[in-house]
Structure 1
Amino acid sequence: MTQQTVITDEFTLRLSSTRRGARLARALAVQQLTEWCGVPYDSDAARAVGLVTAELAANAITHGHLPGRDFRLTLRLLPKAVRIEVTDTRPERLPPRVATETAPADATSGRGLLLVEAYADRWGCTVRDAYTKTVWAEVTVVAG
């Protein structure tokens, strides 16, 4: 018998593969979390969901972007967590299975997956077709 994840609600939106699109993804994720769970914007859960969404979206626009193609943000409310999914158009560019600190100490980027690992309970990548990949993370949320 396989265990199935129960999804109680879902939110999906296509956003432009730009820095503005990534910022909007973060804001919308926090907004949706507060609507679903009633947690304050400045709560640890909201900060974690915002940070994880921002990192996944930034990776999508940096490493998963093709000109003229958007990325998709999907949020799924699970019984005790929020699953954040960011789908981009570069399935051949998979994230490393384990985040490693390879960036120099003074670099301004290169640590995004380390942050995702730190704030998410689980994360991974799924390729379902030849055109897209979805990087996902689940963050535990305690309702307010």
Structure 2
Amino acid sequence: MGVVIGPRVINAGLSLRLVLVSPVAVAAGYPSPAQDYFDGRIDLNEHLIKDITSTFVVRVTGDSMERAGISDGDELIVNRALEPRDGSVVIAVLDGELTVKRLRITATGVVLQAENPRYPDICVPGLSELTIWGVATTCLHHV
């Protein structure tokens, strides 16, 4: 079971193992020929996922969260076990519609805040049905 934002949902239960090329940093300028390289493995599950049973990866469509560093086509690692707090980037279900927004809890109610000035914030009306499906913990941004 999962949520779809865009064309697919990927359960985070997939094992992701990559080769670690450099243990500390990669030069963005002129690389040093004297730098030692480490040829080992790194398990991304250990670094990105705290609770594998409650974590999912969702693909984002749209640009309403650009200023939060979330672009169209990015994947978000979403933890359903985390408690949403004011300022969290969340996957929300508002009246049956899924959206990714920043959660704002104000004196006048709940606001789902866009991070792009071209999109209005969503002030959640009192009679609306709002469910916070999960809290985004990491954005996998494609370069």
Same fold, TM-score > 0.5, yes or no:
no
Asked which structure has the greater CA Rg, the reply is 2
> When you count helix as a share of all residues, which structure comes out higher?
1
With the length of structure 2 as denominator, give the TM-score of the two structures. Answer: 0.31
With the length of structure 1 as denominator, give the TM-score of the two structures. Answer: 0.30
Higher relative contact order (CA 8 A, sep 6+): 1
> When you count strand as a share of all residues, which structure comes out higher?
2
